[in-house]
């Protein structure tokens, strides 16, 4: 009976547009675990026991969180399903402090990518890809899924977004010029695929290969890897873009609000709160916020 309720819940969630990458496995595992204990309905004790089998605190919270969401759905039809307490804390823990690239580090990274570590088109592909991520703030998945038709006179049309919403990302004229240089070389590649960025085999790039190439090139560029500090990652290029954009935010409450909303839309965030998170992401921005607050409290002009 619990298995049927889980499948009904998953079907409803899918019909609402949710991908459910991990929830399917978790909830089916929970249903099987409950069945072994002859539980036909959600039991708080059983749910906590099952979630507690996960290795990390974060995973335990996520597993129990999935059951809690399912239990809310199931209880609407049958109150015999119990609603477990969040015994392992919230699912979403605080975000780690991101690595923020300096302008010089991005230049070193792009230059290192263009060195003859990779032959044929790959060095042009990686150097252009990294530079594009740095100057647009695109997600890596969005960049590697770009196709020729997505490059328009108005900018890049991002059609495969995290939240399945298309958006237009304008390009600075310098970025457009460098992308045009790459595309000219790219068209000489014997590939019938229409992805902008391709592998040496002419096939679309795979995220794992791009990440491995990035770490090899980051090491070659001499990017620091200090214990206890954030590590340079591909996604950190997006973080760096967002932080630099916030550093140029104009004064004035209304102008700041407009700037944040525009940046949130540009980055493709589903919630503007995700953009505001960057205000606390770096010491530089926090210092500026503290200075503005001090000026406000003391009555001085900002």
- Give the three-state DSSP class for 120: coil
Coil, helix or strand at residue 284: helix
Cβ proximity of 167 and 155 under 8 Å? no
Q: What is the pLDDT along the chain (302 residues), one digit of tens a residue?
A: 799 999 999 998 888 767 777 889 999 999 999 999 999 999 999 999 999 999 888 899 999 999 999 999 999 989 999 999 999 887 665 666 778 899 999 999 999 988 765 566 788 899 999 999 999 989 999 999 999 999 999 999 988 666 567 888 999 999 999 999 999 888 877 667 889 998 888 888 999 999 999 999 999 998 877 666 778 889 889 888 888 887 777 665 566 667 677 777 778 776 666 766 666 666 565 566 566 655 655 665 54
Instruction: Answer for the pair 111, 130: CB distance below 8 angstroms, yes or no.
Output: no
pLDDT on residue 99: 83
H/E stretch holding 28:
helix 23-36
Catalytic residue list contains 238: yes
Locate the domains of the chain by residue range.
Answer: 2-75, 103-220, 235-298
pLDDT for the residue 119: 60
The one catalytic residue among 235, 244, 259, 288? 235
Q: What is the pLDDT of residue 301?
A: 52
User: Within 10 Å of residue 129's Cβ, how many Cβ atoms?
Assistant: 26
Strands (E), the chain: 151-152, 155-158, 167-169
Separation between Cα atoms, residue 197 and residue 193, nearest integer Å: 10
Catalytic residue among 37, 72, 162, 287: 162
Residue among 215, 220, 269, 288 flagged as catalytic: 269
* Cα Rg of the chain, angstroms: 24
Expressed in angstroms, the distance from the first to the final Cα of the chain is 63
Angstrom distance (rounded) from CA 241 to CA 138? 9
Asked about 276 being catalytic, the answer comes back as no
Active site residue 235: yes
Query: Both tokens of residue 189?
Result: 């590649």
Query: One of 13, 60, 63, 139 is an active-site residue; which one?
Result: 139
The class (CATH top level) of 103-220 is mainly alpha
Q: Spot the catalytic one: 39, 123, 238, 239.
A: 238
Q: Catalytic: 60?
A: no
Q: How far apart are CA 198 and CA 121, in angstroms?
A: 9
The structure's pTM equals 0.65
């Amino acid at each position: 009976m619990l298995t049927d309720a889980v499948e009904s819940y998953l079907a409803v969630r899918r019909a609402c547009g949710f991908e459910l990458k991990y929830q399917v496995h978790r909830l089916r595992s929970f249903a099987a675990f409950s069945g072994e204990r002859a539980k036909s309905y959600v039991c708080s004790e059983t749910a906590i026991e099952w979630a507690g089998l996960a290795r990390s605190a974060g995973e335990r919270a996520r597993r129990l969180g999935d059951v809690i969401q399912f239990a809310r759905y199931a209880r609407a039809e049958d109150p015999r399903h119990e609603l477990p307490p969040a015994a392992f804390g919230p699912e979403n823990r605080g975000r780690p402090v991101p690595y923020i690239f300096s302008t010089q580090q991005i230049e070193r990274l792009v230059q290192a990518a263009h060195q003859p570590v990779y032959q044929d088109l790959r060095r042009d592909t990686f150097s252009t890809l990294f530079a594009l991520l740095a100057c647009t703030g695109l997600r890596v998945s969005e960049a590697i899924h770009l196709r020729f038709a997505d490059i328009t006179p108005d900018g890049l049309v991002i059609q495969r977004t995290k939240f399945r919403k298309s958006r237009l990302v304008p390009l600075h004229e310098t970025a457009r010029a460098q992308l045009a240089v790459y595309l000219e070389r790219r068209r000489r590649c014997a590939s019938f695929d229409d992805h902008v960025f391709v592998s040496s085999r002419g096939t679309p790039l795979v995220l794992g290969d791009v990440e491995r190439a990035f770490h090899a090139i980051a090491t070659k560029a001499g990017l620091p890897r200090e214990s206890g500090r954030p590590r340079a990652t591909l996604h950190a290029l997006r973080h760096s873009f967002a932080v630099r954009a916030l550093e140029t935010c104009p004064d004035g409450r209304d102008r700041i609000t407009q700037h944040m909303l525009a940046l949130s839309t540009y980055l493709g965030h589903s919630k503007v709160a995700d953009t505001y998170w960057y205000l606390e992401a770096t010491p530089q921005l926090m210092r500026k916020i503290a200075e503005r607050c001090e000026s406000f409290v003391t009555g001085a002009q900002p």
